[in-house]
């Protein structure tokens, strides 16, 4: 089966290829599928935004499509930045802005989780969404140089996500968990039928 991934993010493509390759599923980039879309992500939930991205590609290719939407939910900020994670601050100031907004919050109240919803549309247009999450705490300073976004301030045990190697992060991350849930869904349902 071939699945088009509704993203322009090379890291997400690589992660999806690593996970789904062993099922004999080929992940095509939008470019490889001959489409170029960048819809406005104006949903109020991760699921809505994942579906917005998946539908925009499905309408053009009528092939199976996956898309994911992710964000960081901080308990002390009532779940913010959540679905607005990408727009919380300019990309290079996301961590600084979060640290500043949490400067008076003590260590034991800095719990947070990364969330992902992955949407899958099969070739008949039937839709499902599946979740993945990863629990951690927000540190008091940036640590590490890998990854992107909020990785330097998201502490998973005694290391930040930015201190983990990519494969270590994939093994425990929200996106990895959501992709593995979809992997299990494909194994339980005959992927040939989906195609």
Catalytic residue list? 69
Q: Where are the extended beta strands (E) located within 6-143?
A: 26-28, 65-74, 111-121, 127-138
Residue where the block lists tokens 């629990």: 135
Angle between helices 10-20 and 174-188 (to 10 degrees): 40
Alpha-carbon distance of 195 to 189, in angstroms, equals: 11
List 8, 14, 38, 148, residue binding ligand IMP (CB under 6 A): 148
149 binding ligand IMP? (CB under 6 A): yes
Total residues in contact with ligand IMP, by rule CB under 6 A: 16
The token pair that represents 58 in the structure block: 């499905």
Give, as one character, the DSSP assignment of residue 8: -
- For ligand IMP, the nearest residue by Cβ is 149
94 binding ligand IMP? (CB under 6 A): yes
> Which residues are CB-neighbours of 82 under 8 A, at least 6 positions away?
71, 72, 73, 115
Residue placing its CB nearer to ligand IMP in the complex, 49 or 122: 49
Shortest Cβ 20–ligand IMP spacing (Å): 18
Alpha-carbon distance of 19 to 148, in angstroms, equals: 20
User: Cα 118–122–128 angle (5° rounding)?
Assistant: 40
Residues 105-124 close enough to bind ligand IMP by CB under 6 A: 114
Shortest Cβ 67–ligand IMP spacing (Å): 9
Among the listed ranges 30-38, 54-62, 119-127, 147-155, the one in contact with ligand IMP (CB under 6 A) is 147-155
Contact, 70 vs 116, CB < 8 A?
A: yes
Shortest Cβ 148–ligand IMP spacing (Å): 6
List 15, 151, 163, 194, residue binding ligand IMP (CB under 6 A): 151
71 binding ligand IMP? (CB under 6 A): yes
Residue placing its CB nearer to ligand IMP in the complex, 60 or 172: 172
Q: Which residues bind ligand IMP (CB under 6 A)?
A: 68-72, 85-86, 94, 114, 147-151, 161, 173
């Amino acid at each position: 089966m071939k699945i088009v991934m509704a993203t322009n993010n090379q890291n997400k493509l690589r992660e999806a290829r690593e996970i789904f390759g062993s099922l004999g599923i080929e992940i095509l980039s939008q470019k490889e599928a001959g489409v170029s879309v960048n819809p406005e992500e104006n949903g109020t939930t991760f699921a809505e935004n994942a579906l917005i991205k998946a539908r925009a590609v499905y309408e053009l290719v009528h092939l199976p499509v996956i898309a994911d939407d992710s964000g960081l939910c901080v308990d002390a900020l009532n779940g913010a930045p959540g679905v607005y994670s990408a727009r919380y601050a300019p990309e290079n100031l996301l961590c600084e802005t979060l640290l500043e907004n949490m400067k008076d919050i003590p260590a034991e109240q800095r719990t947070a989780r990364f969330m992902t919803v992955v949407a899958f549309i099969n070739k008949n247009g039937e839709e499902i969404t599946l979740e993945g999450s990863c629990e951690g705490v927000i540190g008091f300073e940036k640590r590490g140089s890998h990854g992107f976004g909020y990785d330097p301030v998201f502490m998973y045990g005694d290391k930040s996500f930015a201190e983990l190697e990519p494969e270590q992060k994939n093994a425990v991350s929200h996106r990895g968990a959501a992709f593995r849930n979809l992997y299990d869904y494909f194994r339980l349902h005959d992927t040939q039928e989906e195609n």
